[in-house]
A and B are shown apart, each in its own frame.
Chain A
Amino acid sequence: MSIFRNLGWFFRRHWIRYCFCVLFLILVSLIELLPPWLVGRLVDDIQANNLLSVDIYATVGFIALCGVAIYILRNGWRLLLFGGSIELGRIMRARLFHHLTRMSPEFYQRHQTGDLMAHATNDIRALEMTVAEGVLTLVDSIVAGTAVIAAMIWICGWEITAVALVPFPVMAWLMSRYANLLHKRFRAAQEAFSELNNRVQEAVSGVRAVRAHHLTDAQKRKFAKESDKNVNANMQVARVDALFDPTISLCVGLATMSSLGFGAWRISERLMTVGELTTFTIYLGLLIWPMFAFGWLFNIVERGNASLKRLDKLLAIEPDVKDSAPENNTVLDGNIAFSSRGFTYPTARNRALEEFSFVIEKGSFVGLCGRTGSGKTSLFRLLLRQYDRESIDVRIGGVNHDTVSLDALRNRFALVSQEPFLFSASIAENIAFGRPEASREDVEHVAKLACIHDDILGFSEGYETLLGEKGVNLSGGQKQRLTIARALLLDADYLLLDDAFCSLDMQTEARILDNLLNRENPGTVILITHRLTNLYKADQVIVMDGGCLSEIGSHDKLMAERGWYARIFERQAMETTEAIKLSA
């Protein structure tokens, strides 16, 4: 029952709602007791031959009235109870979402999208259900159960009540067992379904590969196997699910049986009337739900608890980087001085960066190159303070970058990352994502700089073309150019390009780069790239190797040093030498 305690804050905030809700539930349980009692009295009147038509009208009218009252009260508690859980769902969703927006990339590497989605959907839904059905089953199993049993004892005597109730605890116990089993098997069935889903996903997204490698039959076989598993898992669910009804009717049947037998004896002994027995048998029917609820309760609570724990655990994760000075909005400007005394990713064993330092001058164009995994992207991450380490010291214009607020720091940078991500919105909205208030001219201006304007005009809806599942699919190069345009619109003084040209051909790359460097306020541009051919334009080139800074300086200087840079530059350029000679 700890879930009710753990959600105490919520119940306290809505205590009036839940007080009324419980009150209504109690009233419903009490009113429900009246019609059977009235029916029993009428039966006794018939038996005693003193039935009056007034009594009939009064009773019939009263039963109908009870029905109407219960109808109103039921709607009342449903609105209160389900309204409460909808509110809880909304609060939890908003909390989770807000929390997600605060998490750094590290967090998203540790948690897969699918898992996070499961929290946002299944866990919150389970929580909503627990709060609604948990309260309902808790109150009903206690209040309604007690009320019915009390009425039985009071009207018909404790002896018959004791005899009739024997099967009910067994039923409650069985219900709880079944519920538990059902839940477990249901999860297995869901897993089987998700496996099936993966199988189909692979077959569809890899349809070319499947055909090219003539794997159609293999795919069909795998699918049939998964589908069979799915059938079996669902049969396991059905096997338990189908037990509920027969068990309930058997238990109630036994209770009816024993109370009838015992009642008949009591009546023959003149210890009970026929009317009382009639009332009693109807009350038996009213006991089914509270007993069922009692069995179900533990299961619901357990499920809700598990979900709440998962959510709480997720919400308790602190962002890796704390906004140490949220009020300090000093505008950082000037040279970037980066100095590392070693950096290791939280889950990694080896250092990603060793000890080195360098300075990037304000307004310069810097090329950053080196092998895959040499630490280039890590540099960007540390510049943007996606990780906090004592051993990393970044100063911009002499100011340590962790003394200002995260917003103030990150507003200074525009980043184009390796993998372009676009939102399901129109092209214009995507470009203006970072500055929604930007005018159409501004949007078109950056689109031209990023050499994507003509492509956009080629779509039937132009800038209003929708992207994503509902809209068109762009090529990798188009996506990349859109994200470049998006970053340019931010008008930040420091532009970070993380291999942002890798899907573009060399001509387009060169054109965009020229546009970037020759625009009105070029600011500082840092480009990570594997294609060195454009770096002759750079004011400074930094070469990384195994987490170390291995070469630094102007293009000419590095060429003269004859290191990795010169070697790779020449190899890439060599491929064209012959062309020049031949065509000359």
Chain B
Amino acid sequence: MKTSEKRQHFIRLLRYGLPYRGRILVSFIMLLTGTTATLYAPVLVKEFIDGHVVPGNWEQSALVTLGVTFIAIYIIAGFMSWWEEMMFQRVALSVVHDVRRDVFHHLFLLPMAYFDKEPVGKLVSRITNDTETIRDLFVQALPSTVRGIVTLVGVLIAMSLLDLRLALFCMAILPVIFGGVFLYQRYSHPIFHRSRSVLSDINTRINESIQGMAAIQALGQQKRVNQQFGEVSQEYREVQSKLVLVNGLLLRPMVHLTSALALALVVGGFTGQALTGPVEIGLLYAFINYLDRMFEPLTHITMQMQVWQQSVVSAERVFQLMDEPVDNQYDHNATGSTSTEEVLGGKIEFREVGLSYDGKQQALDDISFTVESGQFVALVGHTGSGKSSIVNLLMRFYPYQKGAVLVDDKPLESFAEEPYRRQVGLIFQEPFVFQGTIAENIHLGHCDISEEAVREAAGHVQASGFIEKLPDGFQEVLGERGQSLSSGEKQLLSFARTLAQNPRILIMDEATANIDSETEQAIKSALFTLRQGRTTLAIAHRLTTIEDADLILVLEKGRIVQRGHHRELLKRNGLYRDMYQAQSKVVKMDSEEQLIVGA
């Protein structure tokens, strides 16, 4: 990443702070007040030492005055620093919240194609881990750097005000410090990054081994993976040791060393003055005190350098996602669409539709067909023939380039997203189960669906049977992705969900997963229930499930090659009959005898 780019990302991050500038200003003023108060305390002590301790005049009143002022200053400073930190933390966390919200919202505006090419893990990590690194910047690195600089400048000013010559003596040490920081940057960072990547390698390995342990054991490779793991572990150990060495040489111990050298300089300078004339002992106290305060923030700043670097890298990743071009149909502000038009009839018409995902290959080519309201139309074809593309178009997951898709004789685009989706129910090949209860998974948070309706829908699709067997029935909380349910049960659940929505149009992608025959029967009859009174467009994998379809469209390489009823198509030579026979060929050869008996 170029420096200019880094700066741009950084400025963009800082811009998130703009809405909170008032609070930032107040907390900055508090920081200045607190620092000033803290730095004033040594001056008080100095006055006391020079005025009372050194001359040896013990005065109770002076002591009381000093004590009261002193404690007052500390309480004020302490309170200011706490309050300032609270305020700044609140701002910082709000900023991160805003960044997170923006990137999360942007997610829903992205075209579906984006999700096809980016792995889930990567996207999730962008929204959580990368923003977490940005959080580290705002809650740690930024405030401690600002505080460090304010303290450093404050100390230098205070020193100069007290004794300019001695202050210059101290500043002589600054180049050494900056040199150390430079060296640290130069030598520690590469090792640090190396160590992080090796650690993540280790964790990936453990993770994968845990998940694939059954495979490892089945293949008898325990010894080999153990040995490989040992090698990575050893590598991590070496990198870590190097990091400890470099950090030791250049970080904390280095700061302590320079602080000792600074002490030597101050003592030398001060006593040198004492040789030639009278000096104030209190001044020495004040300077030693200031030196302590000067070095602590420096250590902090140096340690935060890594956070700065990482957060800029993370910011780049987050902004990259935020800058991904959006699909306008999801962006209500862009379309300005306030159409509340609803799908009433449920007629679907494709007119010479063409679709290409990559601009090169045609996924759909010259597709035309009509599904009248209430009809059942099936899509058939091999993998990659374009069945899913038709569904994708109708679900508005992808934009098409040629022709027109009409619903209720109106262009698809004329419907606003929300009312349209309300009337179009999609049943997935692999139904998605949301975190929450069974009931929540059926009504999906749409408050117009009553508990009654949920139960009714489940009953209609024969899902009540398995739901009522669960310990908590409809209130049973489903784990991650509904792991506790079998795939057949998940199917039934998704049917209930769709039925409860009561859509005009039903689009379904038939499940290929193997479901035992009993459940399959339940699913078949549930599907029949679902289709009643709705326009249905179904992708079929088993041709036996579509014998009663009003129309079957056979697709090959993005084109419709055959259309008609089941019986018509079987009588004709063509892809449909080939597929049908292929599916039954295995049986045909050897078991005709039994078939005839069975028939």
* Contacting residues, chain A, for B196 (C-beta < 8 A): none
* Contacting residues of chain A (477-525) with chain B, CB-CB under 8 angstroms: 483, 486-487, 490, 499, 502-503, 505-507, 510
Q: Do B86 and A238 touch (CB < 8 A)?
A: yes
CA distance A94 to B234 in the complex (A): 10
A457 within 8 A of B: no
Q: Do B93 and A235 touch (CB < 8 A)?
A: yes
* Contacting residues of chain B (209-254) with chain A, CB-CB under 8 angstroms: 209-222, 224-226, 229-230, 233-234, 236-237, 240-241, 244-245, 247-249, 252-254
Q: Which residue in chain A gives the minimum CB-CB distance to B396?
A: A211
CA distance A66 to B261 in the complex (A): 9
CA distance A210 to B501 in the complex (A): 14
Please tell me which one of the listed residues B212, B233, B417 contacts residue A214 in the complex, with CB atoms under 8 A apart.
Answer: B417
Which one of A4-12, A14-22, A172-180, A256-264 contacts B? Answer: A256-264
Q: Do B120 and A204 touch (CB < 8 A)?
A: yes
Known: A238-B139, A410-B218. 15 other contacts (CB 8 A): A90-B237, A94-B229, A94-B233, A113-B207, A197-B128, A200-B124, A227-B100, A231-B94, A234-B135, A486-B219, A503-B513, A510-B586, A569-B594, A576-B584, A580-B595
B486 within 8 A of A: yes
How many A-B Cβ pairs are below 8 Å?
Answer: 423
Q: Which residue in chain A gives the minimum CB-CB distance to B228?
A: A97
Q: Do B594 and A573 touch (CB < 8 A)?
A: yes
Residue pairs across A and B with Cβ atoms less than 8 A apart, 26 shown, are A35-B263, A56-B275, A70-B260, A71-B253, A71-B257, A75-B249, A78-B247, A83-B241, A86-B244, A102-B222, A117-B206, A117-B210, A198-B480, A200-B104, A220-B104, A223-B101, A227-B97, A242-B85, A249-B74, A260-B53, A372-B486, A407-B220, A411-B220, A423-B215, A569-B591, A573-B584
Given A101-B225, A204-B115, A249-B74: A243 and B82 within 8 A (CB)?
yes
CA distance A384 to B220 in the complex (A): 12
Given A204-B124, A246-B81: A67 and B45 within 8 A (CB)?
no
The 4 closest A-B pairs by CB, nearest first: A67-B260, A576-B584, A246-B78, A434-B219
Please tell me which one of the listed residues B45, B260, B281 contacts residue A35 in the complex, with CB atoms under 8 A apart.
Answer: B260
Given A51-B274, A260-B48: A502 and B514 within 8 A (CB)?
yes
A218 within 8 A of B: yes
Which one of B82, B272, B418 has the highest number of Cβ atoms from chain A below 10 Å of its Cβ? Answer: B82
Q: Which residue in chain B gives the minimum CB-CB distance to A91?
A: B233
Q: Do A220 and B105 touch (CB < 8 A)?
A: yes
Q: Do A59 and B260 touch (CB < 8 A)?
A: no
Q: Do B210 and A113 touch (CB < 8 A)?
A: yes
B168 within 8 A of A: no
Q: Do A580 and B54 touch (CB < 8 A)?
A: no
* Contacting residues of chain B (397-417) with chain A, CB-CB under 8 angstroms: 397, 417
Contact with A along B44-58 (1 / 0, CB 8 A): 010011001110111
B344 within 8 A of A: no
CA distance A583 to B86 in the complex (A): 80
* Contacting residues, chain A, for B434 (C-beta < 8 A): 202, 206, 209
Distance between A567 CB and nearest chain B CB, rounded to angstroms: 9
Q: Which residue in chain B gives the minimum CB-CB distance to A248?
A: B78
Q: Do B122 and A533 touch (CB < 8 A)?
A: no
Please tell me which one of the listed residues A260, A267, A434, A533 contacts residue B220 in the complex, with CB atoms under 8 A apart.
Answer: A434
B204 within 8 A of A: yes
Given A74-B253, A197-B128, A281-B285: A116 and B210 within 8 A (CB)?
yes
Which one of B351-359, B421-429, B460-468, B525-533 contacts A? Answer: B421-429
Given A206-B434, A510-B586, A576-B587: A51 and B81 within 8 A (CB)?
no
* Contacting residues of chain B (177-208) with chain A, CB-CB under 8 angstroms: 202-204, 206-208
CA distance A414 to B220 in the complex (A): 10
CA distance A559 to B581 in the complex (A): 23
Contact with B along A556-584 (1 / 0, CB 8 A): 00010000001011111111110110110
Chain B interface extent, by class? 35 or more
CA distance A241 to B88 in the complex (A): 13
Please tell me which one of the listed residues B208, B254, B595 contacts residue A423 in the complex, with CB atoms under 8 A apart.
Answer: B208
Q: Which residue in chain B gives the minimum CB-CB distance to A203?
A: B107
A277 within 8 A of B: yes
Q: Do B229 and A86 touch (CB < 8 A)?
A: no
CA distance A231 to B203 in the complex (A): 28
CA distance A141 to B288 in the complex (A): 23
Given A51-B274, A86-B237: A201 and B284 within 8 A (CB)?
no
CA distance A413 to B219 in the complex (A): 9
B561 within 8 A of A: no
Could you tell me how many residues of chain A have their Cβ less than 8 Å away from some Cβ of chain B?
Answer: 159
Contact with B along A209-223 (1 / 0, CB 8 A): 111111110111001
Please tell me which one of the listed residues B127, B244, B513, B586 contacts residue A78 in the complex, with CB atoms under 8 A apart.
Answer: B244
Which one of B271, B281, B288 has the highest number of Cβ atoms from chain A below 10 Å of its Cβ? Answer: B271
B89 within 8 A of A: yes
* Contacting residues, chain B, for A166 (C-beta < 8 A): none
Q: Which residue in chain A gives the minimum CB-CB distance to B260?
A: A67
Please tell me which one of the listed residues B139, B233, B285, B425 contacts residue A278 in the complex, with CB atoms under 8 A apart.
Answer: B285
Distance between A541 CB and nearest chain B CB, rounded to angstroms: 13
A87 within 8 A of B: yes
CA distance A216 to B428 in the complex (A): 18
Q: Do B584 and A46 touch (CB < 8 A)?
A: no
* Contacting residues, chain A, for B132 (C-beta < 8 A): 193
* Contacting residues, chain B, for A531 (C-beta < 8 A): 514
CA distance A206 to B53 in the complex (A): 74
Distance between A474 CB and nearest chain B CB, rounded to angstroms: 13
Q: Do A533 and B275 touch (CB < 8 A)?
A: no
Q: Do B517 and A568 touch (CB < 8 A)?
A: yes
CA distance A78 to B252 in the complex (A): 11
B267 within 8 A of A: yes
Please tell me which one of the listed residues A206, A415, A487, A490 contacts residue B432 in the complex, with CB atoms under 8 A apart.
Answer: A206
Q: Do B257 and A67 touch (CB < 8 A)?
A: yes
Q: Do A75 and B248 touch (CB < 8 A)?
A: yes
* Contacting residues, chain B, for A98 (C-beta < 8 A): 226
Please tell me which one of the listed residues B45, B74, B236, B252 contacts residue A90 in the complex, with CB atoms under 8 A apart.
Answer: B236
Q: Do B219 and A79 touch (CB < 8 A)?
A: no
Q: Do B256 and A70 touch (CB < 8 A)?
A: yes
Q: Do A53 and B86 touch (CB < 8 A)?
A: no
Q: Which residue in chain B gives the minimum CB-CB distance to A49?
A: B274
Distance between B34 CB and nearest chain A CB, rounded to angstroms: 9
* Contacting residues, chain B, for A70 (C-beta < 8 A): 253, 256-257, 260
CA distance A207 to B118 in the complex (A): 12
Distance between A173 CB and nearest chain B CB, rounded to angstroms: 17
Q: Do B288 and A282 touch (CB < 8 A)?
A: yes
B161 within 8 A of A: no
Given A78-B248, A218-B445: A39 and B284 within 8 A (CB)?
yes
A454 within 8 A of B: no
Q: Do B582 and A250 touch (CB < 8 A)?
A: no
Which one of A66, A197, A209 has the highest number of Cβ atoms from chain B below 10 Å of its Cβ? Answer: A209
Q: Do B63 and A101 touch (CB < 8 A)?
A: no
Q: Do A246 and B82 touch (CB < 8 A)?
A: yes
* Contacting residues, chain A, for B233 (C-beta < 8 A): 90, 93-94
B41 within 8 A of A: yes
* Contacting residues, chain B, for A326 (C-beta < 8 A): none
* Contacting residues, chain A, for B375 (C-beta < 8 A): none
* Contacting residues of chain A (319-356) with chain B, CB-CB under 8 angstroms: none
Please tell me which one of the listed residues B77, B515, B543 contacts residue A249 in the complex, with CB atoms under 8 A apart.
Answer: B77
Please tell me which one of the listed residues A433, A533, A537 contacts residue B215 in the complex, with CB atoms under 8 A apart.
Answer: A433
CA distance A394 to B89 in the complex (A): 65
Distance between B246 CB and nearest chain A CB, rounded to angstroms: 10
Please tell me which one of the listed residues B263, B501, B543, B592 contacts residue A580 in the complex, with CB atoms under 8 A apart.
Answer: B592
Q: Do B397 and A211 touch (CB < 8 A)?
A: yes
Q: Do B86 and A101 touch (CB < 8 A)?
A: no
Q: Do B516 and A536 touch (CB < 8 A)?
A: no
* Contacting residues, chain A, for B432 (C-beta < 8 A): 205-206, 208-209
Please tell me which one of the listed residues B215, B267, B397 contacts residue A208 in the complex, with CB atoms under 8 A apart.
Answer: B397
A398 within 8 A of B: no
Contact with B along A296-331 (1 / 0, CB 8 A): 000000000000000000000000000000000000
* Contacting residues, chain A, for B544 (C-beta < 8 A): 575-576
